[in-house]
Chain A
Amino acid sequence: MSTEAGTRTTTTTQPSGRVGDSPLRPDGTLKVTGEFAYASDLWHDDMVWGVTLRSPHPHARIRGIDIAEALTVPGVIAVLTADDVPGENAVGLEHADQPVLASEFVRYEGEPVALVAADHPETARRAAQRIHVEYEVLPAVTDPRRAMDDDAPAVHQPGNLVRHLTLRRGDPDATAPVVVSLDFEVGMQDQAFLGPESGLAVPAEDGGVDLYVATQWLHVDQRQMCLALGMPKELVRLHLAGVGGAFGGREDLSVHVHASMLALRTGRPVKMSYGREESFFGHVHRHPAWMTYEFGAERDGTLVYARARTVLDGGAYASSTAAVVGNAGTLGLGPYRIPNVAVDAYGVFTNNPPCGAMRGFGCVQAAYAHEALMDELAEAVGLDPVAIRQLNGMREGDTNITGQVIDSAAPVAELLQIVRDMPMPPPADTSDIRSRPGAVGNTTHGEGVVRGVGYAVTYKNVGFSEGFDDYSTARVRLEMTGGEAVATVHTAAAEVGQGLITVEQQICRTELGVERVVVHPKNTAVGSGGSTSASRQTYVTGGAVKAACEAVRAVVLERAALSLGRPANELRLDGGKIVGSSGEVLVGLGEVLGEDAVEETVEYRHRPTHAIDPETGQGDAHVQFAFSAHRAVVDVDVELGLVKVVALDTAQDVGKAINPDAVVGQIQGGSAQGMGLALMEEIVVTDGHVRNPSFTDYLIPTILDMPPMQVKVLEYADPHAPYGVRGVGEPPTISSGPAVAAAVRAAAGKPLRRVPIRPEHITGT
C-alpha cells in the first residue's frame, strides 16, 4: 500500500507524538495479541448474569406474562417484566418511544419482553424459556413503501410517518433537454462490530448504580437511564468499558437499563453479554432505502435540475430515523451544483427491525442513487464518468441544495483527478487462484472474466446538524509527578477503536509541551463529550481538549510571567520548561507549579447550525463538509456473477491529519465497509423476520475480498475548525460502495439497481 500525505509539511520523525505525528496507540498491541479487555471481559467476584427474553413476533399484543415457572428454576434470582421498570417505561435516542420492556405490544422480532438474573448464564437462558408469554399475533407492516397507505396498520399512533423532509430550490418544475432517471434499492446493512453488546451494572451503597458498558455516548445513555430508572443522574454513573467497534450501532441503549434494573433489584453486580445472534436483534441497522431519482441537464452535461423521492425503512421505533432522513434529504443529491431541486425524503415506521445510525448516516443510501444516475447522464451526453462529475462538482463558495454556502475547501474535481491519475492495477495474475473472482472456490481460470472501472464521489456533514447543540467537554490538569511534568486529560468522549485516546494525547503534548499525558478513564464524572459519531470527535472533543489546554497554559504562563517579570505572550511551554520567544529555556515547569496542579474544564462548541425551513428545506443545516472520491477496479465472472475487487483507490480531504496513520486506517476500514454493502452485506428480512442473524450468513469482507489500496490524503485546512481538521471516518464508507457498484455495472453491462449486488443479479438467473 502506498500512502502519500498530500500537502502535509510536518515531519513524522519527531518521537514525541505531537499533532501531525503517528504515535502508536496504547491499545494496539493488546488488541493484536488478544489481551485487550473488552466489555465482554468484565468481571466482578459476586456477579450474576442477566439475559433478555425477546419477542418471536414482528407484531403482537401481549395478553399476559407468567413468570412463575421461571422463578422456580434453581439459581434464578430475579425475573422482571415491564411492571418492574422503576421509572418511565420509555427510552429512545431522539424520541422516548421504545419501552424498556414491552408491556402491551411487541412491534418487532427481538423486542425485549422480560429479564432474568441467575447465578449462571445458561441457567438464566433456560429460565427465560420458561417464561410464558401469551401473544395475540397482529398483522405486521413489513413493506415500507406501503407503510403510509391509508389501510396500513399503525405501528404507532397517530401513524407510520416518522419524518417527511421537503426540499425545494429554484424552479422545482424546471425542464431540460437531457433527462435521465432511475429507481434504486439499498438493502439493510449491519454495523457488524466484532464485540457484541456487553455491560456490568454494580449496585452502589448510596442506592445508585455504576454501569460499565460499551457505548458511543455515555451522557445520552445516562439521560435515558435516569428517566427509565427514575433516578437522578448523581446516582446513575456510567463508565466506558472496552468497545469492540461501534459504527453507529451503539448509539441506542442495549443492556444499560436492563442490567441496572436487575442489579438494583437483586443487590448484586449483574453482567449482560449478548452472543452474536442476539447482537443482530440488539441494535439498530442501516436503513434500507427505495429511491427514485431524475436529473435534467443541458446537452453538455451541466445539471439543470434534480428530483428525488426517497423512502427509508425506520423499523419499529424512531431511534435516529428523523436525522437520517435529514441527511438523505439535505445531502441526498451529492456534491454537485444543481440550481433547481425538488426532494422528498420519508422515514417510516414498520414492524421490521429498528434502523438508526450507521457510518455514513443517510448519505450512503443516497450516494448509490446519485452516482448511478451521474453515470447514466455521462452516457447520455457522451462524457466519461470523471468528466461529468468534474463539470458539475462543487467548488468552494458554491451554494448547496439547502442554500448553504460551502465556506471552505470543496475539491471535488481535484479528488476525482487524483484517483483517475493513480496507476491502474496490472492485469489479473492468473497463476494465483486467490486473485480471480471466486478465489479459492476455483470457479474460473479466466473464463467469463471481464474487468470494469467505476468512480464515485461524496460529501458528508461532520458533526451534528439542523440546530443541535453539539458540544464536548474536556478537563485538563497539569502537575509535577516524580519530578516530571504530567498532563491528565479527562473527557467522556467514547474511544470505540478509532484512536481518540491517541489524538487527545497528541493535542496535550502539542499545546502543553509535555511528553507524558495520562488519559483519564472515560466516565460521566466529567461533562458530556457528545457522541462518537458523525465523524465529529477529533473536531469537537479535539477542540475541547485544545481549548482546555490553552486555558491551563494561560494560567501557567501568567504565573511564570509574574515570577520572571516578562510578559506572558513572550513565553511558551516546551519540553516541560518555560521557554522564551527564541526558544531559550527560562525556568522549569516544576519551579512554576511547585506542588500545585493547574486544572481547567472547558466546553467547546462548533459554529451553530440551523433548522431547515419546513416548506423549502432551505437553511444552513451543517457545520462542515468532508469530501472523498473512489476509483474501483473489479474483475467480474459474468457467467457466475462472482466479483473480485482488484483495486479500490481513494483520495480524501481531511483538513489536517492529526494522526496520519490513524487517518489512513479510518479510510481503509471505511472503504471496506462500503464495499461490503455493495457486494455482500445484507440482513435479509422476510415478513418481519431476520433470516441470517449470524456471521455464517451475514457476510462481511475478508482479506481476500479487500484489495490493497492507494490512499491520497489532502490537507486543506478548514479555518473554522481546530487545527483545520475535517471529519474522516464516514466519507470513505459513502463513496467506496457506489464506485464498486459502478465498476461491476461496467463489467457486467447490466443496470444493477440494487445493492448488495448478488451473483444472480449479474447472471440474471
Chain B
Amino acid sequence: MDFLQPTSWTDALAARAERPDAVAIAGGTDVMVDLNFDRRRPGALLDLGRVPELREWAAEDGWVRLGAGVPYSRIIEELAIQLPGLAMASRTVGSPQIRIRATVGGNLGSASPAGDAHPPLLAAGAVVEVQSAARGARRIPAEEFYTGVKRNALAPDELIAAVLVPTAAGPQQFCKVGTRNAMVIAVSAFACALHPDRKTVGTGIGSAAPTPRRAPDAEDFLAGELQAAGLWDSRGRLPEELARAFGERVAAAASPIDDVRGSAAYRRHSLSVMARRAVTWAWNDLREAA
C-alpha cells in the first residue's frame, strides 16, 4: 500500500486525480478501523493531515467556511457561538483523544448515517464544497450530499475542501441518544435550528435512516403553525401540543431499522421525544434573546 502525503491542496488534488485507488484519510478514526479489520485494502492512502488549507476556518459574509480538516476539539473551542449546533454535536464525538483527531471532513467522507456532524449540518442548511484538479470546485447542499449508506456525492477524483455553514441566526440544539453516557455511537440523533430571520425551521436526523436526512414536513409544519399563530413576531410561549406534533412529524420522517444498538420502534420514539424537547429549548432560547 502506498502512502501519499501531499503538503498542499494543489498537490492533494493532483494525487487524488492520479490515484483513483487511493482512500483519503484525515484523522484516521474511521479509516484505520476499516484497515485494521481488513475490511478495506486500498492501493494507497492519501493523507490529508499535512495540507494546511484544510485545517483553517474563516467567517465569510454570514457563513463559516470550515476546512475539512478542522478537528472537533477546535470546533468546540472556537465555533460554539457561530455554529452552536455543530459544536454541541462535536462534544458528543468519541473520546477527548478522538475529538482531537477526527474531522467533519472525515464524517462527510465516511457518510455513515450515525455520523454526529450530519444532523446539525442539515439543520443549518450547510453546503459541502468539493474540488477536483480537472473541474475545479463545486458546491453540494448537505441534503444532496448523502446518497446512501456510507455513500456520498463525491466523484472519484474529488476531495472535500470545506463545509460552508450559515452563521447561526437563531438558537440551535442537538440531542443524541446512546446506551452509555459518553463515547458512544448514536442510537438516534436529532438537530434543529430556528431561522427567525427567514421564519423557517431546520432539522436533521441521524442514525434512523439509510442516510442522515431532514424532516421537511416537520419543518414546514412548525414554521407554518408559528406563522399562523403570530409567534414568530410575538415570541410567545411554544404550545406544548405544537412541540409534540412537531416531534411526531420528525419521527415519521425516519426509516429506522432494528440492529444491535437499538430497535426501530425505540429509535422512532426517541426521535419524537428529542425533537419535542429540542425545539422547546430552542424556542425558549429565542424568547429569552428577545
Contacts of B281 in A (CB 8 A): 445
Contacts of B262 in A (CB 8 A): 758-760
Task: Flag if A441 contacts B273 (CB, 8 Å).
Answer: no
**B223 on the A face (CB < 8 A):** no
Task: Flag if A445 contacts B277 (CB, 8 Å).
Answer: yes
Question: CA of A702 to CA of B92 in the docked complex: distance in angstroms?
Answer: 14
Contacts of B55 in A (CB 8 A): none
Task: Flag if A277 contacts B37 (CB, 8 Å).
Answer: yes
Which residues of chain A (729-764) have a CB below 8 Å from chain B?
A: 758-760, 763
Chain A contact residues (Cβ within 8 angstroms of B): what range? 35 or more
* Residue of B37, B184, B187 contacting most chain A CB atoms (<10 Å): B184
**B290 on the A face (CB < 8 A):** no
Question: CA of A125 to CA of B274 in the docked complex: distance in angstroms?
Answer: 45
Besides A277-B37, A434-B182, A441-B178, 9 more A-B contacts (Cβ < 8 Å) are: A441-B184, A640-B270, A702-B182, A703-B182, A758-B179, A758-B262, A759-B266, A760-B262, A763-B270
Stretch from A79-87, A362-370, A498-506, A693-701 at the B interface: A693-701
Query: Distance (Å) between the CB of A669 and the closest chain B CB?
Result: 17
Task: Flag if B265 contacts A760 (CB, 8 Å).
Answer: yes
Contacts of B16 in A (CB 8 A): none
Contacts of B178 in A (CB 8 A): 438, 441
- A692-B175 contact in complex given A438-B181, A701-B180, A702-B180, C-beta closer than 8 Å: no
Return the contact of B176 from the options A442, A448, A691 (Cβ within 8 A): A442
A/B pair count, beta carbons within 8 Å: 98
Return the contact of A125 from the options B38, B173, B181, B268 (Cβ within 8 A): B38
Task: Flag if B180 contacts A759 (CB, 8 Å).
Answer: no
**A392 on the B face (CB < 8 A):** no
Question: CA of A139 to CA of B183 in the docked complex: distance in angstroms?
Answer: 38
Contacts of A642 in B (CB 8 A): 177, 181
Which residues of chain B (123-179) have a CB below 8 Å from chain A?
A: 173-179
Return the contact of A444 from the options B37, B268, B269, B277 (Cβ within 8 A): B277
Task: Flag if B260 contacts A692 (CB, 8 Å).
Answer: yes
Contacts of A275 in B (CB 8 A): 36
Of chain B, the residue at the smallest CB distance from A129 is B38
Task: Flag if A699 contacts B175 (CB, 8 Å).
Answer: no
Question: CA of A575 to CA of B10 in the docked complex: distance in angstroms?
Answer: 73
Which residues of chain A (455-471) have a CB below 8 Å from chain B?
A: none
Which residues of chain A (325-372) have a CB below 8 Å from chain B?
A: none
**A138 on the B face (CB < 8 A):** no
Question: CA of A763 to CA of B265 in the docked complex: distance in angstroms?
Answer: 10
Question: CA of A440 to CA of B175 in the docked complex: distance in angstroms?
Answer: 9
Task: Flag if B274 contacts A440 (CB, 8 Å).
Answer: no
Of chain A, the residue at the smallest CB distance from B261 is A697
* Residue of B180, B183, B274 contacting most chain A CB atoms (<10 Å): B180
Return the contact of B277 from the options A443, A691, A758, A763 (Cβ within 8 A): A443
Residue ranges of A at the interface with B (Cβ–Cβ < 8 Å): 125, 275, 277, 434, 437-445, 447-448, 639-642, 644, 679-680, 684, 691-692, 696-697, 699, 701-705, 758-760, 763, 765
- Chain B contact residues: helix, strand, loop or mixed: mixed
Question: CA of A703 to CA of B281 in the docked complex: distance in angstroms?
Answer: 27
Contacts of A697 in B (CB 8 A): 185, 260-261
- A442-B173 contact in complex given A680-B179, A692-B260, C-beta closer than 8 Å: yes
Query: Distance (Å) between the CB of A40 and the closest chain B CB?
Result: 14
- A440-B177 contact in complex given A639-B273, A704-B182, A763-B266, C-beta closer than 8 Å: no
Question: CA of A441 to CA of B92 in the docked complex: distance in angstroms?
Answer: 6
Question: CA of A696 to CA of B270 in the docked complex: distance in angstroms?
Answer: 21
Contacts of A434 in B (CB 8 A): 181-182
Task: Flag if A704 contacts B181 (CB, 8 Å).
Answer: yes
Contacts of B176 in A (CB 8 A): 438, 441-443
Query: Distance (Å) between the CB of B87 and the closest chain A CB?
Result: 11
Of chain A, the residue at the smallest CB distance from B266 is A760
Question: CA of A342 to CA of B270 in the docked complex: distance in angstroms?
Answer: 44
Question: CA of A758 to CA of B259 in the docked complex: distance in angstroms?
Answer: 13
Of chain B, the residue at the smallest CB distance from A686 is B260
Of chain A, the residue at the smallest CB distance from B178 is A441
Task: Flag if B181 contacts A439 (CB, 8 Å).
Answer: yes
Return the contact of B177 from the options A443, A699, A701 (Cβ within 8 A): A443
Task: Flag if B269 contacts A763 (CB, 8 Å).
Answer: yes
Question: CA of A641 to CA of B266 in the docked complex: distance in angstroms?
Answer: 10
